[in-house]
Structure 1
Amino acid sequence: MGAVTIDGSDGDLDRFAERVLRGSTAVETLSPVERQMRWDILDRSGFTRSTALRSGIGLTVTKLRWERSWSMAFDHGISRLKFVVARGPGPRLTTSEGGRHRLEGGSFHVSQIKRPVRLQFDFDERGADRDHEQLSLEIDRARLSELLGTEVLPAAVERVLSSPRAYPSDAHPIAPALFRLIDELVHCDARGPARQLYLEAKGLEVLAVMVDGLEESERAASSALSAYDVDRLERARQIVLARIDDPPRLPDLARLAGLNEAKLKAGFRALFGDTVYGYLRHRRLDEAYRLLQQRRYSVSEVAARVGYANPSKFAAAFRERFGIPPSHVS
C-alpha cells in the first residue's frame, strides 16, 4: 500500500477508501454535512459516517465486523484534539513512535497527533464475528474552551495538549451514558433537517459526558495525594529540572524531596503523567532542541549540556522524539 496521509480534513474518507481500502468501496454524500463509507470488502462489513457539526465538532461513527485477523496502516498528519469511545472488540493501535493502545470497550481516550506519525491497526481473531462500534469527536482547543466557557481545560486534556510526544493518549473509565449515546448515534434514523439537529445535540452531549468523566477521574486521582504530597512532588520535579544534565538517583531525589521512594515513583506518574526518568528524558530533549535553534553550540556540545555522554545515543533519542536528526534543526 502506498503512503496516504489522513489528517481530519473533508477529503479523508475519499483518501481512505481509495488508498487504504484500495478503491474497493465508495463514499456517498448523505447531506451537505454528512458523508458515509461502506465497509463491504472481503470479510469486513459495516460503515463509517463523518459529520461536520455547526458547533465545530467533527463527529465520526463507525460500525465494523470482521471474520478473521487483518491489519491496516497509514500515515496520519497533524490532527485536532480527539475524543474516542468504543464498544465491543477493537483493534490494537501501534504508532511509529512505539505507543500502543487498545480501542475497545471499557475506556475512552483523549489524544492529539502533533506531528506526522504512522498508525497501524491490528484486528485479531479474538474480536471476529462481533461488532466494533466507535464514536470519535475532533475539536480545536480554542473551540472547546469556548463551548466550556473557560480557559482552564480538564487536566487530562491539558496533559495531552502539552505532551511532547507525537501521539499522546490518555485513557479513562467509560461512563454508562456513553453506551447509550453509542446506540443513539450508530442507529440514528432521523431524516431531513431534523437529522442534522439531532446529530448536533448528540455530539454536544457526548462531549459533555466525556468532559464530565475526565473531571471526575481527575478528582479521584488527585484525592489519593495529599497537599503535602503534591508540594513534595513539585519539589522533586524542580530538582530534576535544575539538575537536568546530572540528575540525582531516585533514592537521593526522594530524600531531597522529603518522600519515600515508592511514593515518589507512584505520585510522580499520577501527578505529571510520566515516570521521573521519562519526564527527565523529554525535558532534556526539549532543552536540546532549544539550544540547537540558537546555533551557538555543536551537536556534541548540546548533547553534553543536556546530560548525554554518547552523541550517537543522543542523536537516536532526538530523532525518535522529533522525527529529524539534531543536525537538521534550524
Structure 2
Amino acid sequence: MGAVTLDGSDADLDRFADRVLNGATAVEALSPVERQMRWDIEDRAGFTRSTALRSGIGLTVTKLRWERPWSLALDHGASRLKFVVVRGPGPRLTTSAGELHRLDGGTFHVSQIKRPVRLRFDFDDRAVDRDHEQLSLEIDRARLSELLGTKVLPAAVERVLASPRAYPSDAQPVVPALFQLIDELVHCDARGASRQLYLEAKGLELLAVMVDRLEESERAASSVLSTHDVDRLERARQIVLARMDDPPRLPDLARLAGLNEAKLKAGFRALFGDTVYGYLRDRRLDEAHRLLRQRRYSVSEVAARVGYANPSKFAAAFRERFGVPPSQVT
C-alpha cells in the first residue's frame, strides 16, 4: 500500500477512508462538527470519530482491533501541537528521518509535525485481538496559551515546540483520570444538542488533565531550583525576548538576571527545555513567521527585525524550522 497523504484539513478522514479502507466505508456526519469513519474491513474493526470543538481543539477518538500484524504509511504535512493518550497495544512509529517512537498503552505523548514527513506505523502481533483505544487532541500554541492564561507552557511542551526535528515527541505516563476520560469519550452515548456540549467539556477536561501532569513533571525536573532561581531565570527569559534583535552575551545576561553563568545555562535548560540561544532562535523564527503572515514587510526586513543580519542564513534557519522558505509564507 502506498502512503496516504494528510494535510490536517477536514478532508483527511475522507482520504483515509478511501485510501486505507479502499472505500469499504463512508465517512458519516454525526453532527455539523462531528464525523465518524468505521473500520469494517477483513482483519480490522472499530471506528474513528473526529470533532472540531468550539474551543479551537480538534478531538479524535479511535477504537480498533486487528487480527494480524499490519503497517500504515502516512505522508503528513506540518501539524498543530498534538496530545495523544493510548490504552491497550499501540503501534511503533518510524519517521522518514529514522526517528523511532513507541505509542504504547499507558502513556500519553506531546508531539508536533514541524514539516512534511513520512510516518510509518507498525501494528505488530503483540496487539492481535486486543483493543487499541486512542484519544488525540490538536491545538495551536497560541490557543493553548490563551486557554491556560499563560505565555510559559510546561517544559515538555516547550521542548517539542523548540525542537528542530521534524517529529519531536515527549512521552509521559498516564494518570487514572486519563483512563476515565478514555472510557467516557470512547463510549460516549450523549445524543442531540447535549452531545456537542458534553464533548466540548470532556475535550477541555482532557487538555487540563494532561497539562496538569506535564506541570507536575516540570516541577519535579526543576525541584533542584529554588524559587529565587526560578524568578531570575524567568527574568533572563524576558530579557532575551525583549532584546530579540540584539541579545546580550551569556555573561551579561547572567549579570542582568542576577545569576552566575553556570546556573543560568543549567537552570534555563531545566526550566524551559532548551539552551538560551536555542530558545531565542526558535522565538525569533516564530516572530518572523508572524510578521511574514501580515504581509507588511519583505523577507529581508523581517530577517533584520528578528536579529538576522544575513538574509540567507535567516532563510535557511526558517526553512529548517517550518519546512518552507520564508518567501512562501501566506
TM-score higher than 0.5 here?
yes
Opposite residue 212 of structure 1, the aligned amino acid is D
**1:178-214 C-alpha deviation (Å, 9 max, x unpaired):** 0000000000001110111100000000001011111
CA contact (8 A) 2:67 2:129 kept: yes
1-structure distance, mates of 2:309, 2:168: 24
2-structure distance, mates of 1:207, 1:107: 15
2-structure distance, mates of 1:108, 1:86: 6
2-structure distance, mates of 1:19, 1:165: 28
Structure 1 residues 90 and 269: CA distance shift in structure 2, 3 A: farther
1-structure distance, mates of 2:146, 2:271: 26
Structure 1 residues 20 and 205: CA distance shift in structure 2, 3 A: same
2-structure distance, mates of 1:12, 1:32: 16
Q: Which residue of 2 aligns with 1:194?
A: 194
Shift of 1:223: 1.3
Structure 1 residues 67 and 320: CA distance shift in structure 2, 3 A: farther
1:5 maps onto 2:5 in alignment = yes
1:156 maps onto 2:143 in alignment = no
2-structure distance, mates of 1:181, 1:84: 12
Shift of 1:21: 2.9
CA contact (8 A) 1:97 1:320 kept: no
Opposite residue 36 of structure 1, the aligned amino acid is Q
Opposite residue 97 of structure 1, the aligned amino acid is A
2-structure distance, mates of 1:24, 1:218: 45
Q: Which residue of 2 aligns with 1:34?
A: 34
**1:139-175 C-alpha deviation (Å, 9 max, x unpaired):** 1111111111122222211111111111111111212
1:206 maps onto 2:226 in alignment = no
2-structure distance, mates of 1:134, 1:8: 18
1:46 maps onto 2:31 in alignment = no
Structure 1 residues 66 and 270: CA distance shift in structure 2, 3 A: farther
SS of match in other structure, 2:222: helix
Matches within 5 A, 1:252-263: none
SS of match in other structure, 1:144: helix
Question: RMSD of the TM alignment (CA)?
Answer: 3.6
1-structure distance, mates of 2:227, 2:152: 20
Q: Which residue of 2 aligns with 1:221?
A: 221
Name the TM-score, length of structure 2 as normaliser. Answer: 0.72
Shift of 1:4: 3.2
Structure 1 residues 142 and 229: CA distance shift in structure 2, 3 A: closer
Shift of 1:8: 2.2
2-structure distance, mates of 1:269, 1:97: 25
Structure 1 residues 198 and 321: CA distance shift in structure 2, 3 A: closer
CA contact (8 A) 1:20 1:74 kept: no
1:93 maps onto 2:88 in alignment = no
Q: Which residue of 2 aligns with 1:84?
A: 84
1:14 maps onto 2:14 in alignment = yes
2-structure distance, mates of 1:271, 1:202: 29
Structure 1 residues 155 and 320: CA distance shift in structure 2, 3 A: closer
Shift of 1:124: 0.6
2-structure distance, mates of 1:323, 1:32: 33
**1:74-93 C-alpha deviation (Å, 9 max, x unpaired):** 10101111110000111011
1-structure distance, mates of 2:309, 2:165: 19
Q: How many residue pairs are counted as aligned between the two chains?
A: 275
2-structure distance, mates of 1:202, 1:98: 35
Q: Which residue of 1 aligns with 2:252?
A: none
Shift of 1:293: 6.2
Q: Which residue of 2 aligns with 1:107?
A: 107
2-structure distance, mates of 1:322, 1:147: 24
**1:264-284 C-alpha deviation (Å, 9 max, x unpaired):** 8xx99866758x9xx8xx99x
Opposite residue 150 of structure 1, the aligned amino acid is T
CA contact (8 A) 2:73 2:118 kept: yes
2-structure distance, mates of 1:56, 1:3: 28
Structure 1 residues 273 and 35: CA distance shift in structure 2, 3 A: same
Q: Which residue of 2 aligns with 1:169?
A: 169
Q: Which residue of 2 aligns with 1:316?
A: none
CA contact (8 A) 1:84 1:110 kept: yes
Structure 1 residues 60 and 293: CA distance shift in structure 2, 3 A: farther
Opposite residue 123 of structure 1, the aligned amino acid is F
2-structure distance, mates of 1:210, 1:75: 27
2-structure distance, mates of 1:197, 1:175: 24
Structure 1 residues 72 and 269: CA distance shift in structure 2, 3 A: farther
Shift of 1:22: 2.7
Shift of 1:106: 2.2
**1:13-49 C-alpha deviation (Å, 9 max, x unpaired):** 0011112333232211111110001111121100000
